[in-house]
Chain A
Amino acid sequence: MSSKISRENFIRSIADLLRKAEIELPDDVVSALRKAETAEESQVAKSQLQAILMNIELAKRHGVPMCQDTGIMIFFVEIGTEFQPGFDLETAIGEAVILATAEVPLRPNAVDPLTRKNSLDNTGVGIPDIHWKFVPGNQLKITAAPKGAGSENMSSLRMFNPTETGNIKNFVLETVMNAGGMPCPPLTIGIGIGGSFDAAARLAKEALLEPLDTPMEGLEKEIFEAVNALGIGCMGLGGSTTALAVHVKTAHCHTASLPVAVNIQCWANRHASVVFKGEE
Chain B
Amino acid sequence: MEHHLQTPLKKEDIEKLNAGDIVYISGEILTARDEAHARILDMEKEGKKLPFSLEGAAVYHCGPLMQKTENGWNVVSAGPTTSGRMSKMTPSLLKAHAVRAIIGKGGMKDVADSLKNKCVYLAYTGGCAALAAELIKEVKAVYWLDLGMPEAVWVLRVEEFGPLIVGIDAKGKDIFAEVREKAQKRLENQK
Contact = CB atoms under 8 A, between A and B. Distances in A.
B129 A66 contact: yes
Contacts, number: 150
Nearest to A174: B187
A280 B33 CA distance: 55
Contacts of A105: 65, 67, 76
A280 to B, nearest CB: 42
Given A231-B179, A231-B186, A232-B183, A68 B105 contact: no
Nearest to A267: B127
Interface range, A side: 35 or more
Interface stretch (B5-13, B41-49, B78-86, B92-100): B78-86
B125 A64 contact: no
Interface string B123-150: 1011111110110000000000000111
B125 A52 contact: yes
A54 B162 CA distance: 12
B129 A237 contact: no
A156 to B, nearest CB: 15
Nearest to A118: B148
B129 A68 contact: yes
B179 to A, nearest CB: 4
A150 B82 contact: yes
B22 interface: yes
A233 B22 CA distance: 17
> Which secondary structure dominates where chain B touches chain A?
mixed
A165 interface: no
Nearest to A63: B130
A236 B176 contact: yes
A47 B130 contact: no
A235 B126 contact: yes
B129 A180 contact: no
Nearest to A180: B180
B17 to A, nearest CB: 14
Nearest to A233: B179
Contacts of A107: 63, 65, 149-150
Interface in B154-191: 163, 165, 167, 175-176, 178-180, 182-184, 186-187, 190-191
A274 interface: no
A68 B132 CA distance: 10
Contacts of B22: 44, 47
B125 A58 contact: no
A181 B124 CA distance: 11
B65 A68 contact: yes
Given A55-B130, A66-B127, A184-B127, A230 B165 contact: no
B162 to A, nearest CB: 8
A257 interface: no
Contacts of A48: 125, 163, 165
A237 to B, nearest CB: 6
Contacts of B82: 150, 182
Interface in A65-117: 65-70, 105-107
Nearest to B127: A67
B179 A232 contact: yes
A181 B183 contact: no
Contacts of A69: 79, 81, 127
Contacts of A234: 125
A230 B183 contact: yes
B82 to A, nearest CB: 5
A50 B163 CA distance: 10
**5 tightest CB-CB pairs across the interface, nearest first?**
A184-B126, A59-B130, A55-B128, A51-B125, A182-B106
Interface of A: 44, 47-48, 50-52, 54-56, 58-59, 62, 64-70, 105-107, 118, 148, 150, 170, 173-174, 177, 180-182, 184, 226, 229-238, 266-268
21 contacts: A44-B165, A47-B163, A48-B165, A51-B128, A54-B128, A55-B129, A55-B130, A58-B134, A64-B133, A67-B127, A150-B81, A150-B106, A177-B183, A180-B107, A181-B126, A229-B186, A231-B183, A232-B180, A235-B165, A266-B126, A268-B127
Given A55-B128, A67-B128, 6 more contacts: A68-B64, A68-B77, A180-B107, A232-B179, A236-B179, A238-B182
